[in-house]
């Protein structure tokens, strides 16, 4: 039984409804909220500022540091214990790798730009939402950037290649694969690529091809949020 109709009736290349907003945390230097379906990420940027511990300082450039965190009530099962899990630490690291290529902090040596991400509710695709929110927050903070980073998950559910998998698709009782991708808008280069499950090489390339269009839609929503903030008339 092939996966011909998606559980929520979306087309294979259709994303869940998105809603992005810039400047949602007044205390931060830049911030954003990014919702996609029932996954919600809030990102706040602080910096460039002094870095502690000091040995992390790079005299040639500022660095970015990501802190990904799911709120204790944001999982679809039991409460999640607060504190940084191994999963959260790994996601924080791949987020840094995904965002690093576009930020240019050479004008701020020995500093850090901290990016904090909190997720109030989740339904798969959390690292992608976190990256998309973080990129808006960085731009909102006025951090020099050479490109925009937009992220979405693609994958395969029982032989059908789809974009933006939700939890029930990741948990579909068949062969499934989940491929979170982050892409740069101008160059279409990949800055995040992970995969779990099973997928053929052909399907993977097809999925990545679909990610191009999908991340472009994310990009449009990110830009809409930024433009909305900077064209405020009040």
Partner 1 sequence: MIINQEQIRELAAQGKRLDGRELQEYRSPIKVDLNISWTAEGSSQVQIGETVVMAGVKLSLEKPYNDTPDEGGIMINSELTPLSSSEYESGPPGIKSIELARVIDRGIREAKAIDMKKLCITPGEKAWFVTVDIITINDAGNLFDTAGIAVLAALKTAHYPVVNSETGAINYKEKTDQSLPLTKEPVSVTVYKVNGKFLVDPTIQEEKSADARLTIASDKKGTISAIQKGGDAPLSLEETDAMIQIALEKATYLRKELNKFVN
Q: Minimum CB separation from partner 1 for residue 53, in Å?
A: 12
Nearer to partner 1, 33 or 215 (CB): 33
SS3 206: helix
- State how far the Cα of 28 lies from the Cα of 111, in Å rounded to an integer: 16
Q: Minimum CB separation from partner 1 for residue 26, in Å?
A: 5
- State how far the Cα of 225 lies from the Cα of 6, in Å rounded to an integer: 29
Q: Minimum CB separation from partner 1 for residue 8, in Å?
A: 14
Q: Minimum CB separation from partner 1 for residue 5, in Å?
A: 21
**Torsion angle defined by CA atoms of residues 121, 127, 128 and 131, in that order, rounded to the nearest 10 degrees:** 100
Q: Minimum CB separation from partner 1 for residue 204, in Å?
A: 30
Cβ partners under 8 Å of residue 140, min gap 6: 22, 23, 30, 31, 32, 45, 226, 229
Which two three-digit tokens encode residue 162?
A: 């789809």
Nearer to partner 1, 79 or 188 (CB): 79
Nearer to partner 1, 71 or 195 (CB): 71
Query: The tokens 């927050």 sit on which residue?
Result: 137
Nearer to partner 1, 34 or 46 (CB): 46
- State how far the Cα of 34 lies from the Cα of 45, in Å rounded to an integer: 14
Cβ partners under 8 Å of residue 229, min gap 6: 21, 22, 23, 140
Q: Minimum CB separation from partner 1 for residue 195, in Å?
A: 25
Nearer to partner 1, 44 or 139 (CB): 44
Q: What is the DSSP letter of 101?
A: G
Nearer to partner 1, 75 or 109 (CB): 75
Question: What residues make contact with partner 1 under the rule CB under 8 A?
Answer: 24-28, 38, 40, 42-44, 46, 49, 67, 69, 71-79, 82-84, 114, 116-118, 120-123
Helix then strand then coil, % of the chain, to nearest 5? 30, 30, 40
């Amino acid at each position: 039984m092939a996966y011909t109709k998606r559980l929520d009736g979306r087309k294979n290349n259709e994303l869940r409804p998105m809603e992005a907003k810039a400047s949602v945390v007044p205390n931060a230097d830049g911030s954003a909220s990014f919702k996609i379906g029932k996954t919600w990420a809030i990102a706040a940027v602080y910096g460039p500022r002094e870095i502690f511990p000091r040995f992390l300082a790079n005299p040639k450039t500022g660095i970015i540091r990501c802190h990904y965190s799911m709120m204790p009530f944001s999982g679809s099962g039991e409460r999640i214990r607060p504190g940084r899990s191994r999963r959260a630490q790994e996601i924080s690291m791949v987020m840094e790798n995904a965002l690093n290529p576009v930020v240019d902090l050479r004008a701020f040596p020995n500093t850090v730009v901290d990016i904090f991400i909190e997720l109030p509710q989740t339904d798969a695709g959390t690292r992608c939402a976190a990256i998309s929110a973080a990129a808006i927050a960085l731009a909102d903070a006025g951090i020099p950037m050479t490109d925009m980073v937009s992220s979405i998950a693609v994958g395969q559910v029982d032989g059908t290649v789809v974009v933006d998998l939700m939890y029930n698709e990741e948990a579909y009782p068949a062969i499934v694969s989940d491929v979170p991708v982050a892409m740069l808008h101008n160059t279409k280069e990949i800055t995040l690529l992970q995969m779990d499950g099973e997928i053929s090489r052909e399907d993977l390339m097809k999925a990545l091809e679909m990610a191009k269009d999908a991340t472009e839609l994310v990009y449009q929503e990110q830009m809409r949020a930024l433009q909305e903030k900077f064209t405020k008339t009040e």
